Amino acid sequence: MAEETYNPWTVVNVVFHHLVEQGLHPTLGESGHPGEPAAALLRAFGIQPRAEGDLRAAQNVQEHLAQLRASMFERP
């Protein structure tokens, strides 16, 4: 069977809604970006999060592309 991957926010959203229905008040990532705590929650369920679901990964790609463009088109 092929390994399935999920967007972290989809699963976190389902978990949080369930916890709220139980009268709890969940929080995630109080001290910073919630992406890593969300990914850790998924891993605890045995789910491998997708990098595409992490805004930081997309930002890193854009920053790297900008650096490449600058180095290729920079005039001495």
pLDDT at residue 76, rounded to an integer: 59
pLDDT at residue 21, rounded to an integer: 93
Confidence of residue 23 (pLDDT cuts 50, 70, 90): very high
Q: What is the pTM of this model?
A: 0.49
Neighbour tally for 39: CB within 10 Å = 19
pLDDT in tens, 26-46: 887 677 777 778 778 888 988
**Cβ partners under 8 Å of residue 26, min gap 6:** 15, 16, 19, 20
Mean predicted confidence (pLDDT) in 57-65: 80
Q: Looking at the predicted structure, is the pLDDT value of residue 74 above 80? A: no
pLDDT at residue 32, rounded to an integer: 75
